[in-house]
């Protein structure tokens, strides 16, 4: 049975959400509001072990929760983009390993399945590996005399769960740090163009690029946010607009093809995007359409800024050409919301991501600071900087 088909409850506004947290109706006015339903929530017994996800395929129409009680259900949810975006995938992968461990499943096999569920977002395999390593290390320690009274499986499952919680906490802290650093690149009265979705739906904090946008909004520096609709799956129109509206940001959604004219008109001061994988040479894989924006931004002398945690930099992939780009089903292009757009049998070209060369990236904002220009050497220096530890921001969308 698919994860979307059971244990799902539509959560109308005003009713209790998962974990008993109230689901409030959207607030009017310019107030910042946290998400009604957590992006991801770990459920302990008796409701779990399980991972409850806000179903992003249903937004903004309804806030529905998909509860994954085993790893195949979670893998299915990841493939269907119920949960998506690089940092959130890292967290989900780690909780998936904890889920397998708590259930007594084959944890290494589960980690493999999770890590391979989507190929481009590096955080998925990274988070999965981290939780697996914590599980295996704890299993090894279980033979030590001080643990002789403890069940090794239980001990190791606890370690995997602790690691998943630590990944989520680090992500929330990274989000807050990226917002602080990135704010320095945003001028007063900024008109910002963004692509895809990079807010609290992709993070345990306020997100990546959207965290900077939120910081600019809260500092009174944001004049207007332009949101690319982001075909084919409309993460911009459906998800970023949903987050921007809840935050009281003045925003406008545009067709992706309108961005060229918008930039030419001088109405954009900075383009801000996230990243799914950054190669060691600084090439940035991000939602398809990002590369075109970067070319346009350079042509029109507008800064093109990428915001991503250091965990999204993949030093094991030397160049952008080596990044595996996920290709998705033709129906995502040939249909829209169940409506047929192209003649039956039409082929489709549907890469989920494209790769922007480092030379087009004006700056990379991470939790460890800003890198510009984006070069192999500067990325190495950034990686060598000690992580800055700060407490999680108030707007945490994952309840763990």
Nearer to ligand MRU, 123 or 371 (CB): 123
Place of tokens 């602790």: 162
Nearer to ligand MRU, 49 or 90 (CB): 90
CB of 308 to ligand MRU, least distance (A): 7
End-to-end CA, the chain: 26
Nearer to ligand MRU, 130 or 287 (CB): 287
Structure tokens, 204 = 């345990």
CB of 102 to ligand MRU, least distance (A): 26
How is the beta sheet containing 50-54 ordered, strand by strand? 9-10, 64-68, 50-54, 40-43
Nearer to ligand MRU, 93 or 158 (CB): 93
Q: C-alpha angle 396/397/400, rounded to 5°? A: 85
CB of 271 to ligand MRU, least distance (A): 12
Say which residues have a Cβ less than 8 Å from residue 230's Cβ, sequence separation at least 6.
195, 196, 197, 236, 237, 240, 256, 287, 289
CB of 351 to ligand MRU, least distance (A): 11
Place of tokens 């890198």: 371
CA nearest neighbour of 87 among 178, 213, 223:
178
Say which residues have a Cβ less than 8 Å from residue 30's Cβ, sequence separation at least 6.
248
Is 276 an active-site residue?
yes
Nearer to ligand MRU, 50 or 352 (CB): 352
Place of tokens 């090439």: 283
Residue 143 Cα to chain centre, angstroms: 38
The one catalytic residue among 256, 276, 281, 314: 276
Binding residues for ligand MRU, rule: CB under 6 A, are 81, 84-86, 196-198, 202, 208, 235, 273-276, 286-287, 352
* Cα 107 from Cα 127, distance rounded (Å): 14
CB of 45 to ligand MRU, least distance (A): 30
The residue sitting closest to ligand MRU, measured at its beta carbon, is 274
Catalytic site positions:
276
């Amino acid at each position: 049975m698919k994860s979307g088909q059971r244990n799902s409850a539509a959560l109308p506004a005003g009713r209790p959400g998962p974990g008993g947290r109230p689901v409030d109706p959207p607030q009017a006015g310019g107030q910042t509001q946290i998400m009604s339903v957590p992006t991801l929530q770990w459920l302990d017994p008796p409701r779990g072990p399980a991972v409850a996800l806000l179903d992003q395929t249903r937004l903004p129409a309804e806030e529905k929760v998909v509860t994954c009680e085993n790893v195949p259900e979670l893998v299915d949810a990841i493939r269907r983009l119920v949960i998506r975006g690089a940092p959130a995938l890292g967290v989900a992968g780690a909780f998936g390993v904890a889920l397998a461990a708590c259930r007594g499943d084959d944890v290494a096999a589960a980690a493999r399945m999770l890590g391979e569920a989507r190929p481009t977002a590096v955080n998925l395999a990274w988070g999965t590996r981290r939780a697996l390593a914590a599980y295996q290390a704890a299993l090894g320690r279980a033979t030590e005399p001080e643990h002789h009274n403890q069940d090794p499986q239980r001990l190791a499952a606890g370690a995997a769960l602790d690691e998943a919680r630590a990944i989520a906490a680090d992500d929330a802290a990274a989000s807050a740090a990226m917002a602080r650093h990135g704010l320095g690149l945003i001028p007063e009265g900024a008109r910002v163009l963004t692509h895809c979705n990079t807010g609290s739906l992709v993070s345990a904090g306020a997100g990546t690029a959207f965290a900077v946008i939120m910081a600019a909004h809260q500092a009174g520096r944001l004049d207007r946010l332009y949101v690319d609709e982001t075909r084919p799956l409309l993460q911009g129109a459906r998800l970023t607009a949903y987050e921007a509206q809840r935050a009281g940001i003045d925003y406008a959604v545009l067709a992706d093809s309108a961005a060229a004219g918008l930039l030419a008109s001088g109405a954009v001061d900075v383009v801000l995007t996230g990243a799914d994988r950054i190669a060691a040479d600084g090439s940035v894989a991000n939602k398809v359409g990002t590369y075109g924006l970067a070319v346009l931004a350079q042509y029109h002398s507008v800064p093109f800024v990428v915001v991503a945690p250091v965990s999204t930099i993949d030093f094991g992939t030397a160049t952008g050409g080596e990044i595996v780009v996920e290709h998705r089903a033709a129906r995502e292009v040939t249909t829209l919301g169940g409506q047929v757009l192209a003649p039956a049998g039409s082929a489709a070209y549907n890469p989920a991501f494209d790769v922007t060369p480092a030379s087009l990236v004006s700056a990379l904002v991470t939790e460890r600071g800003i890198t510009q220009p984006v070069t192999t050497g500067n990325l190495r220096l950034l990686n060598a900087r000690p992580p800055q530890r700060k407490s999680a921001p108030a707007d945490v969308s994952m309840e763990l």
